[in-house]
Amino acid sequence: MEFRNSEYYRVGKATDLSGKDRVIYRFFEILPGFLAWLVLLLMFVIPSYFPFFSAIFIIVFDVYWLLRSLYFLIYLYQNWKKTTHNTHLDWQERLHNFKYDHLYHLVLLPFYKEDYDVAKRGIDAILKSRFDMKKMIVVMAGEERVGEHAKKVAAQIEQNYKDKFGHLLITIHPKDLPGEMPGKGSNISYAAKQAKIQILDKENIPYENVIVSAFDIDTVVLPEYFNCVTWNYLVSENPFKTSFQPIPFYNNNLWDTNTVSRLSSASISLLQMMQQERPDKLETFSSHSMSFKTLHELDYWQKNMVSEDSRIFWNALLAKNGDYKVTPMCYPIYMDATLAPTFGETMKNIYKQQRRWSWGVENIPYVLFGFIKNKKIKLSKKLFFSFILLEGFLTRSVVSIFILFSGWFVLWFGGRNFNSTVLSYNLPIVTGYLVSITMIGLFVSALVSYGFLPAHPRGWNWKHKTIYGLQWILIPFLLIFVGSIPSIDAQTRLMFGKYMGFWVTPKHSKK
């Protein structure tokens, strides 16, 4: 039996299974949290019994992390050049020698409690695209559980944009459908199926001629975006076995946010830029595009879990027996940074958003379990992706804490004999130098981030530029708040079977 047709393909959590399968899946749910807490525990225990070994290990690890950081800076620089170059290309001209008038773009824009103005901004950006609007299918996907607000926003959109695109479809996702978790995945799956029935099938549009893009409601694209997607689709070796991933920049409201929101958003963008230089390790994140033919074959986005944006890649990888990949576009899209009416609410929402992204750890049990059940995927590929997933989530949860505090733990718990040694005296000096050198990465990151900033507000001068640069010094400490703690939180919840639901980041405009 093909994995796509098996009972394991749509598993959301261990409780969806029974017997031995449930035990195995539950073990994989426990594994990432167990590893994270084991490392944190060993940070306290090992220095008490093996202080000399701990000190040497810390120095070696800091050297390794320094070299790794410098290595990733090369990736960042390479991607910065590509993205800057691609942003200024005339992609319509690049398509001149291609036949593409048979292709359609289907854009899914799910909305929840957002105001009409938030949706309008993204739709207006699509209208400014240099792609034939007659070949553009826009689907506004609302939620019934929101009530009259969703219907009101949908009515405004339909009234103002009904004649602007080849097709405009408004869908209202019914609440409490069996087997579904309320969230983006269930909403856009419903919307895509309705587009298939009401537009593609009705108009006899072949699925292989449709490129579907799953956006957030606040997503704003550049005029050449859909031409760029089209070009990547046409030059792909097999467009039915790849997703197309842009780079998210949370710049729409950047100057309205606080420093924490600004830096946490920039960190995600820079990480995605570096990941685009490692396409073999890249998975779909947030807004992405793919062939509708492939999406239909995969039975759309999974509806019983939170991380639908990344899960669709793992669904495809398992369904196609390892023969699926993500194509990096090295091209930006723009969304909102986290913003709330007060500083406290903003900080709370930043944490919740980071925890939701960290809940992507739910992919670990799904993928590892799927690798056991799917015998057609090569063992080398299984081991490769297993390591990438486990190493990635373990790094996110503990490395920032380890680098900042492990050296002090050795001094605090190493005992009198160790603290009287030359190694004890030099440990904080050596680690301090290594961490200081690593700070070069922050300087480069700040420069790269500065290159993608939106237009400066009125009155922006050299003092503001200096402050913007200096705030990057906070990154090592901020990574604990927006990286380690929410990641440990998510992994611990999964470890104890406290499954999370989908949390929608509120969209606010500064008054």
User: Helix or strand or coil: residue 174?
Assistant: coil
In this predicted structure, what is the pLDDT of residue 70? 85
Q: Determine how β-strand 167-173 pairs with β-strand 242-249.
A: unpaired
Q: DSSP letters along 219-261, please?
A: -B--TTHHHHHHHHHHHSS-GGGEEEEEEEE--TTGGGS-HHH
Long-range contacts of 44-50 (CB under 8 A, 24+ apart): 44/409, 44/413, 47/409, 47/410, 47/412, 47/413, 47/414, 48/413, 48/414, 48/415
* CA angle at 200 for the pair 197 and 202, rounded to the nearest 5°: 65
Rounded Cα gap, residues 440 and 445, in angstroms:
9
Q: Determine how β-strand 288-291 pairs with β-strand 210-214.
A: antiparallel
pTM of the predicted model as reported, rounded to 2 decimal places: 0.92
In this predicted structure, what is the pLDDT of residue 16? 94
- Rounded to a whole number of angstroms, the CA Rg of the chain reads 24
Q: Edge-to-edge strands of the sheet including 210-214? A: 167-173, 136-143, 104-110, 210-214, 288-291, 242-249, 325-334
**pLDDT digit of tens for each residue in the chain (511 aa)?**
688 888 899 999 999 999 999 999 999 999 999 999 999 999 888 888 888 888 888 888 888 888 888 888 899 999 999 999 999 999 999 999 899 999 999 999 999 988 899 889 999 999 999 999 999 999 999 999 988 888 888 889 999 998 999 999 999 999 988 989 888 999 999 999 999 999 999 999 999 999 999 999 999 999 999 999 999 999 999 999 999 999 999 988 888 888 888 888 888 898 899 999 999 999 999 899 999 999 999 999 999 999 999 999 999 999 999 999 999 999 999 999 888 888 899 989 999 999 999 999 999 999 999 999 999 999 999 999 999 999 999 999 998 888 877 777 787 777 777 777 877 777 777 777 777 777 777 777 877 887 787 777 777 777 777 777 778 778 777 888 888 999 999 999 999 999 998 878 777 655 4
- Which residue type occupies 457? P
Query: Whose CA is closest to 424, among 36, 9, 26, 51?
Result: 51
303 φ/ψ angles, rounded to the nearest 5 degrees: -105, 0
The topology (CATH level 3) of 100-348 is Spore Coat Polysaccharide Biosynthesis Protein SpsA; Chain A (3.90.550)
In this predicted structure, what is the pLDDT of residue 60? 87
In this predicted structure, what is the pLDDT of residue 511? 47
In this predicted structure, what is the pLDDT of residue 91? 96
In this predicted structure, what is the pLDDT of residue 509? 56
Beta bridge partners of residue 142, listed in sequence order = 172
Q: What are the sequence ranges of the domains in the chain?
A: 100-348
Rounded Cα gap, residues 287 and 248, in angstroms:
8
Six-digit token string for 143? 């939620």
Q: Determine how β-strand 242-249 pairs with β-strand 325-334.
A: parallel
Six-digit token string for 330? 């090295």
Contact (CB, 8 A) for 332 and 247: yes
Q: DSSP letters along 324-365, please?
A: -EEEEEEEEEE-PPP--SSHHHHHHHHHHHHHHHHGGGGHHH
